[in-house]
Amino acid sequence: EIVLTQSPGTLSLSPGERATLSCRATESVTNDYLAWYQQKPGQAPRLLIYAASSRATGIPVRFSGSGSGTDFTLTISRLEPEDFAVYYCQQYGSPPQTFGQGTKVEIK
Amino acid sequence: QVHLQESGPGLVKPSETLSLTCTVSGGSITSSYWSWIRQPPGKGLECIGYIYHSGITNYNPSLKSRVTVSLDTSKKQFSLRLTSVTAADTAVYYCARDFGRDWGQGTLVTVSS
């Protein structure tokens, strides 16, 4: 199974700053089928990015995804107050689908 | 927008079977595959398995011996059965469309006597 490692574990930033989250896979993700989710306490995850770089419906343009193969990045260009949350990456190209352990973006 | 809603018991005894149903509305159940994902309290996400409208299933190898996912297209529902549960199966269980395009709100299932 493909193991996804997210870094850093916690990112402490201020509103308006840029956030860069990393997701690294133990082997190449088939078709770059890599998704990013945002999860807030008590809520289900929300799809932000799929296929590495495609924004899901209704997702603000400040969220962008990049990368291919084994290295992927989620960038939030300017953090809004509502962006402080936990972010997960997921590969869905090879069964079993797997998730990273999450990166918490907290207010500095 | 597809809407998904989980239903089922919130408490299951150890060694018994966990059964959940997800009802789909606002979209076709034959146009996607349908997933179950869980999240133990305070921990990360784990894919349990999924089913295509053809009936073909795919399960996480770590759970495969205990899991069954089924689909009832006439009722626009799909279901999860997890046998021989232990405390380690306590989690919020989510149903989702495809790999996670849309999610249910989740339901907490506690395994305890």
| Tens digit of each residue's pLDDT (9 = 90 or more) over A22-73 | 999 999 999 999 999 999 999 999 999 999 999 999 999 999 999 999 999 9
- Chain B contact residues (CB < 8 Å to A): 35, 44-47, 50, 58-62, 94, 98-106
Query: Which residue in the set B44, B99, B106 is minimally distant from A92, CB to CB?
Result: B99
Whose tokens are 């797997």? That residue is: A98
CB distance A99–B44 less than 8 Å? Answer: yes
Strands B3-7 and A63-68: unpaired
| Rounded CA separation B14/B83 (Å) | 10
How many beta-carbon pairs under 8 angstroms link A with B? 50
Residues of chain B contacting residue A44, judged by C-beta atoms under 8 Å apart: 94, 103-106
DSSP helix/strand/coil, B111:
strand
Q: Is there a contact between A24 and A4 (Cβ–Cβ < 8 Å)?
A: yes
Q: How far is CA B38 from CA A15, A65, B32, in A?
A: 31, 25, 20
**Per-residue pLDDT reduced to its tens digit, B13-46:** 999 999 999 999 998 888 889 999 999 999 999 9
